[in-house]
Amino acid sequence: MRTLFIVNDPPYGSERCYNALRLAHALFKNDPDGKVTVFLMADAVLAAKAGQKTPNGYYNVERMVKHVVTGKGRVLLCGTCMDARGIAESDLVEGAQRSTMDELASATIEADKLLVF
């Protein structure tokens, strides 16, 4: 199954980003042949910023994004949203990619399931 996650909320302050990534990880575990794409929009683009430092015992969204990439998933970021927040491609976690609305449209057409957080 091809699953597309569209995430809008910031990585911290709300748990939507956290929960979207948790579910993506569970899909890898329960459907090893499935394909997962996470598209980060609005403040969610900050989830893929490298170098996050969180207090001990607190979840770290950067590590969770890396886990999606190493699990053979795709992490795409809205380029317009990145620009609005001053995030350069060099600021991103390795494997996360700047993207476009056209690429999101294609991913939406290809997806069997679409989840919005």
pLDDT 10s digits, 24-78: 999 989 998 999 999 999 999 999 999 999 999 899 999 999 999 998 899 999 9
**Number of structural domains the chain divides into:** 1
User: What's the pTM?
Assistant: 0.95
Distance CA 117, CA 57 (A): 24
Q: Whose CA is closest to 83, among 91, 94, 93? A: 91
The residue range of the domain holding 85 is: 2-116
Q: Return the CATH number at 47.
A: 3.40.1260.10
Residue 57 has φ and ψ, to the nearest 5°, of: 85, -5
The pLDDT of residue 72: 85
Q: Residue 87 — pLDDT band, cuts 50, 70, 90?
A: very high
